[in-house]
Structure 1
Amino acid sequence: MNTKRQTVWLVSMLSLMVVLSAYYLFTQDVDSPEVLTDSSKTEQAAQNATEASTKGDALIVNEVELPTDGEILSEEDQKTLALIEEQGLAAGGVFSELLAKRERKNIEEGNRIMAVIAETKSNIEEPVAAIGELEMLEEKNAKLTGIESELLTRYEQVAIDEQSDKFSVVVSSEKLEKKEAADIIKLVMSTMDVGADQVSVRYIP
């Protein structure tokens, strides 16, 4: 249902953009109020992956009137809708891809550590240090899984991507208010013992 509503919304947005383009071609009026004045919001709507921060106003994507259930779409709109639905299904794989990526990274790191531990010919200090490193890796993974489990009580899909001790939290939501983003950042900060500059939040409608 959410995917259908999203795709219909996107079709409406595309239709609106066509109308606006025609309008600007045939009029000299450049003072029309509140028509795509915020380029950042336009980019957010196009990318379907908006980054939220704890500063500024709540993030709100401009809304347009949706067609009623009884309204018949044109052939062009139907083709566009089918394309957007196909792209939407691909976007839905973002979460599984992020989780799979993290899992592969953990397996590779775990294998590397186990190889050091198994190398009995090396200095005894190296296997001992490797054991400690393995414990830290397992603890970090448990914490990330715990954060995702907690956020899954609020959002349909959640994935955390880690790169160089920085954590990007991606949630599935139609919109994300400033307070919601702040709560997620605080949760990651307290759980992972990191600073605010190491945490970012994105949402995918």
Structure 2
Amino acid sequence: MLLKKQTVWLLTMLSLVVVLSVYYITTPPQKGNDLASVEQKAKKQLDQSKAATSKIQDKSGKTVVSTVSGDDAFTALRMQLDDQRSQMKEELQAEVASTDLSADKRSAAIDQMKKLDETAKKEEVLETLIKTMGYEDALVRADGENVKIIVKSQKKHTAAQANDIIQLAKKEIGETNYVAVEFQPAKQ
């Protein structure tokens, strides 16, 4: 009887070591205060640019096209999106590693992590496809059924170009309720 208890205890401890090792290996390194200042600067620039935004809606009323300026805001938004995803993954990994969680809840957390990865891949593919359309850069953020796309371009943009991007987004990401496209002028 004592041998079985020791075996169970040993296997439990080994399992815990393995889970913690995987968590440690997959966790990205922590970033310092520089990132926080960049995020604050990006939020300020985004708020300022939203004040000077022009909007056009398509026939369904679900699409927004606007213009934003600032190269730093584009980079900061990409970093902010990456940080949010990393934080969500860390939280889900902590849930999976928790011994108090039921098997169903662990499975749901694992499914959500897979969904995050799939969404990130779809966003990356869509960004690449938009770049092949002749634009300098693109940032795609998909959140459930809402998709926000920021396109960097030196060219003048039209509602037809925005509609092409919207149709591409619906094809690649799937059916969405709301797609917003922002054109950001590239620095020359």
Which range, TM-score by smaller chain? Answer: 0.5 to 0.7
Paired residues of 1:51 and 1:200 also in contact (CA < 8 A): no
Separation of aligned partners in 1, 2:142 and 2:56: 17
Q: Does 1:178 align with 2:159?
A: yes
Separation of aligned partners in 1, 2:73 and 2:94: 32
Alignment of 1:76-155 (within 5 A): 91-153=70-132, 154-155=134-135
Structure with more strand by fraction: 2
Paired residues of 1:170 and 1:201 also in contact (CA < 8 A): yes
Larger-Rg structure: 1
Aligned residues: 127
Once the two structures are TM-superposed, the CA of residue 126 in structure 1 deviates from its matched residue by 1.3
Paired residues of 2:149 and 2:180 also in contact (CA < 8 A): yes
Letter in 2 for 1:175: K
Alignment match, 1:11: none
Once the two structures are TM-superposed, the CA of residue 54 in structure 1 deviates from its matched residue by 3.5
Q: Secondary structure of 2:127's partner?
A: helix
Paired residues of 2:162 and 2:181 also in contact (CA < 8 A): yes
TM-score, scaled relative to structure 2: 0.59
Aligned-residue sequence identity (percent) comes to 22
Alignment match, 2:14: none
Paired residues of 1:52 and 1:201 also in contact (CA < 8 A): no
Separation of aligned partners in 1, 2:121 and 2:142: 14
Paired residues of 2:123 and 2:142 also in contact (CA < 8 A): no
Once the two structures are TM-superposed, the CA of residue 95 in structure 1 deviates from its matched residue by 1.5
Once the two structures are TM-superposed, the CA of residue 191 in structure 1 deviates from its matched residue by 1.8
Change (3 A) 1:169 1:185: same
TM-score, scaled relative to structure 1: 0.55
Separation of aligned partners in 2, 1:150 and 1:54: 22
> For each residue in 1:38-87, what CA deviation from the matched residue of structure 2 results, as whole angstroms up to 9, or x when unmatched?
xxxxxx9x93x5445445xxx9x9xxxxxxxxxxxxxxxxxxxxxxxxxx
Separation of aligned partners in 2, 1:191 and 1:175: 25
Once the two structures are TM-superposed, the CA of residue 162 in structure 1 deviates from its matched residue by 4.2
Alignment match, 2:147: 167
Change (3 A) 1:194 1:132: same
Q: Does 1:193 align with 2:174?
A: yes
Letter in 2 for 1:119: S
Once the two structures are TM-superposed, the CA of residue 124 in structure 1 deviates from its matched residue by 1.6
Q: Secondary structure of 1:191's partner?
A: helix
> For each residue in 1:74-122, what CA deviation from the matched residue of structure 2 results, as whole angstroms up to 9, or x when unmatched?
xxxxxxxxxxxxxx7xx11121112111101100110111011101232
Separation of aligned partners in 2, 1:115 and 1:183: 40
Greater RCO, CA 8 A, separation 6+: 1
Question: Mind listing any 5+ residue stretches in structure 1 that lack a counterpart?
Answer: 1-43, 62-87
Question: Mind listing any 5+ residue stretches in structure 2 that lack a counterpart?
Answer: 1-48, 60-64
